[in-house]
Structure 1
Amino acid sequence: MPENASSLPALRWTVRPGVRTWRCAPAPAEVRDFHAALPGYAPTPLTELPPLAAELGVGRVFVKDESCRLGLPAFKALGASWAVHRVLAERTAAGSGPGPVTLVTATDGNHGRAVARTARLHGQHAHVFVPRGVHPRAVAAIAGEGAEVTEVAGPYDEAVRRAAEAAVTPDAILVQDSAWPGHERIPGWIVEGYSTLCAEIDEQLAARGVREGPDLVSVPVGVGSLAQAVVTHYRSPDRGRAPALLSVEPEAAACVLASLVQGEAVSVATGETAMAGLNCGTPSSLAWPYLYGGLDAAVAVPDSAGARAVARLAALGVSSGPCGAAALAGLHAALTGAGADERRTALGLDATSVVVLLSTEGTAANPHRTAE
């Protein structure tokens, strides 16, 4: 992924020494058992890519390939399935009527399709709000799951606001992965659902002889729910050596990076980006304490870097859309170019380090053209 150094702008990056000692409670153990019992469940591949390790000057690089998860081309089905299971179980326990409810959400694509698919499988309705910039084929895929789709002229945060307004009726439930005061329980269940991905990584690394876990995990970030799950997993008290955790965002929507720099959750104006699922202007209020407590570093990358990462992964046999490939784009930005030695040292990496990239979607999940 070479580029002329003289053409590169200053890297948007922040590092936070000392956070590896921060600890939090782990996700419930029963989440993995729930997913394992679902029809069609299988762990997604953890693919080792020695050429990337050689290029980046580390020992081993693995990619967690979420291009096919429970029949969908992204990891989001893990959170949606667990959250909807909890929602419906709670309604049954409370003696609510047997009639269907409408599961309402806003999405840049993958989460909305996962909610729509889960609703259909449970005999429920779904209403999905989609912001501007989402490709028509992604919108069609959500509608193809049987959901009512409302397209919003504004950005993601506006779609979230519209979804919240639509979910105030007694027969509607907001299943939103972003949280704010008053809407945190269901986003918490969604985050718990993502823990299965991390549990699989532990098992898969151990099977490859890596029993102490990775030295660094690179995770794409939108509102921060997946990153919260990653922090929760790798900062739990029962873990031994804690890895470095790197968050990656598009330059057009780097709300977590801005928040870490400010020391408090802030909103940013978002622009256009091919990384549509990461185009979020406000961190989840539920995720923020975990991101602030446990992220070692954050980096923002341009769409051009994401496109190169998509192409590099494709050349190595991994199907990854722009959001998923952001994990590689961010790691490449951190470990190459001016100041790379200092960043490598800050992340605790050397020639023996084990790195895991979370490729959160396949190319089918994001139909934007990414070749330059």
Structure 2
Amino acid sequence: MSEYALNIDIVDNRFFTGEGSALFSCAEAKKARAFHRQLAGYQPTPLYELDALAHLLGVGKILLKDESQRFGLNAFKMLGGAYAIARLLCEQYQLDLSSCSFETLKKAIKQPMTFATTTDGNHGRGVAWAAQQLGQNAIVYMPYGSARERVEHIRALGAECIVTEMNYDDTVRLTMKNARAKGWIVVQDTAWDGYTQIPTWIMQGYATLADEAVEQIERAQLPAPTHVLLQCGVGAMAAGVLGYLVDYYGASQPHAILVEPDRADCLYRSGIKGEIVNVGGSMATIMAGLACGEPNPLGWPLLRNCTRQFISCCDAVAALGMRVLGNPLDPDPRVISGESGAVGLGVLAALQFHPQHERLRQRLKLTSDSVVLVLNTEGDTDIAHYRDVVWGGKYPVL
């Protein structure tokens, strides 16, 4: 096959300590999963073994957790928003979370509620879905350039959706300002001074997918992952999942690698410095779900302590991942993966076909025995763009 050198910048984490977090643990994840199990339509999303691709890429195994099949919402994000709203209502109405479903919560609500959030698409869709299930209102703000299809998905769930002229982080600030003025409840997966409880619950809710994955690995008697690639926006999902894996397997396994778009690589830059570094500007990347410039301060300490490497990569890496997953080697399953969902797998493929692939593989400690866990965090949430990439060849590698 042809060689091509896509932009993949790797930095080793000089600040690794291996110290986990009690907030993002197996015990907290199991509380969240117990709630999710009570929701109508709950079932674990598939964990696929991509053995033919693993052989081609020179690793022992590739395990892919496919979150495109989560509650019909085409992404994992509802795990966090729904769980945070449930925790909030349980506290407000003195309910037992372990015996709560949306039906019991809906009956408990005494006054109309409005949930507000900022999203690049998937998180807002999850919050709108939860509000709809509860018979409440949702107002969702989206940053400049958001895809029309993602807007319509949110509106189809009965929410008001407003696209701003700002980037993601400035839109978060606008949402908070308007919510304070109008008495809305903000359901956001990043944190700031005075706003930490709801984002903590959201991150704990994301860890349901990690609990499922580990259970699936063990039931199938598969080897434990030696590596995990986690894509990042603010780092909320990455911290929730990595916290679980560190608590379960220990900090030395798996070898955790964070992946971001090079136009919104706040965690990559933070990893270099050892403290939070923000990124501003438009952050124009096809990985809309990762176009965030300010790390979540709740997740950052864990990511700093337990990540081995940070990667900043170009959009063509995500596009490559989309095409590889959508056009599998026999007998691997076909996976429909959106731009933010495919970037971890895209990194593996791009490394294999890079002119310096042996050096890069050694850098990441990838060998023929490696078992790599990747997450497809979204499906084709923007179908037109998905086809532009997979059918039309947009963002080519050559």
TM-score by structure 2 length?
0.87
Indicate the SS of the match to 2:268.
helix
Counterparts of 2:2 and 2:196, CA distance in 1: 42
1:13 aligns with 2:25: no
Show structure 1 runs of 4+ deviating over 6 A: none
**Distance verdict in 2 for CA 1:280–1:18, change over 3 Å:** closer
Q: CA RMSD in A?
A: 2.2
Indicate the SS of the match to 2:263.
helix
**Distance verdict in 2 for CA 1:97–1:260, change over 3 Å:** same
Aligned ranges 1:109-188 → 2 under 5 Å? 109-169=121-181, 171-188=183-200
1:319 aligns with 2:336: yes
Counterparts of 2:178 and 2:172, CA distance in 1: 10
**Distance verdict in 2 for CA 1:18–1:141, change over 3 Å:** same
CA contact 2:49–2:64 (8 Å) conserved in 1: yes
1:243 — aligned with what? 254
State the Cα distance separating 1:240 from its structure 2 match: 8.2
**Alignment partner of 1:226 out of 227, 237, 242:** 237
CA contact 2:19–2:302 (8 Å) conserved in 1: no
**Distance verdict in 2 for CA 1:167–1:226, change over 3 Å:** same
CA contact 1:152–1:158 (8 Å) conserved in 2: no
Indicate the SS of the match to 2:257.
strand
2:70 — aligned with what? 69
1:332 aligns with 2:349: yes
CA contact 1:220–1:327 (8 Å) conserved in 2: yes
Counterparts of 1:55 and 1:329, CA distance in 2: 14
Aligned ranges 1:56-95 → 2 under 5 Å? 56-93=57-94
Gaps of 5+ in 1: none
CA contact 1:324–1:360 (8 Å) conserved in 2: yes
Counterparts of 2:198 and 2:264, CA distance in 1: 24
Q: Map Cα deviations across residues 41-88 of structure 1 (whole Å, 9 max, x no partner).
A: 000011111222122211011111111201210000111111010111
State the Cα distance separating 1:171 from its structure 2 match: 3.7
**Distance verdict in 2 for CA 1:346–1:18, change over 3 Å:** farther
Indicate the SS of the match to 2:210.
helix
Indicate the SS of the match to 1:253.
coil
2:389 — aligned with what? 370
Q: Percent identity?
A: 38
2:297 — aligned with what? 285
Counterparts of 1:39 and 1:257, CA distance in 2: 38
2:20 — aligned with what? 23
**Distance verdict in 2 for CA 1:2–1:86, change over 3 Å:** farther
State the Cα distance separating 1:169 from its structure 2 match: 4.4
Deviates more, 1:255-264 or 1:201-210: 201-210
Indicate the SS of the match to 2:69.
coil
1:295 — aligned with what? 307
Counterparts of 1:201 and 1:282, CA distance in 2: 28
CA contact 1:20–1:296 (8 Å) conserved in 2: no
CA contact 1:192–1:229 (8 Å) conserved in 2: yes
1:361 — aligned with what? 378
State the Cα distance separating 1:336 from its structure 2 match: 5.1
CA contact 1:218–1:331 (8 Å) conserved in 2: no
State the Cα distance separating 1:301 from its structure 2 match: 1.8
Gaps of 5+ in 2: 96-107, 329-333, 394-398
Indicate the SS of the match to 1:248.
strand
**Alignment partner of 2:271 out of 242, 260, 265:** 260
1:4 — aligned with what? 4
State the Cα distance separating 1:310 from its structure 2 match: 0.4
Aligned residue-pair number: 367
CA contact 1:77–1:111 (8 Å) conserved in 2: yes
State the Cα distance separating 1:220 from its structure 2 match: 1.2
Deviates more, 1:135-144 or 1:47-56: 47-56
2:215 — aligned with what? 203
1:33 — aligned with what? 34
**Distance verdict in 2 for CA 1:258–1:2, change over 3 Å:** farther
TM-score by structure 1 length?
0.92
Counterparts of 2:40 and 2:119, CA distance in 1: 25
**Distance verdict in 2 for CA 1:323–1:170, change over 3 Å:** same
Equivalent AA in structure 1 for residue 148 of structure 2: P
Counterparts of 1:277 and 1:250, CA distance in 2: 10
Indicate the SS of the match to 1:153.
coil
CA contact 2:191–2:296 (8 Å) conserved in 1: yes
2:101 — aligned with what? none
Deviates more, 1:261-270 or 1:152-161: 261-270
Indicate the SS of the match to 1:55.
helix
State the Cα distance separating 1:18 from its structure 2 match: 7.9
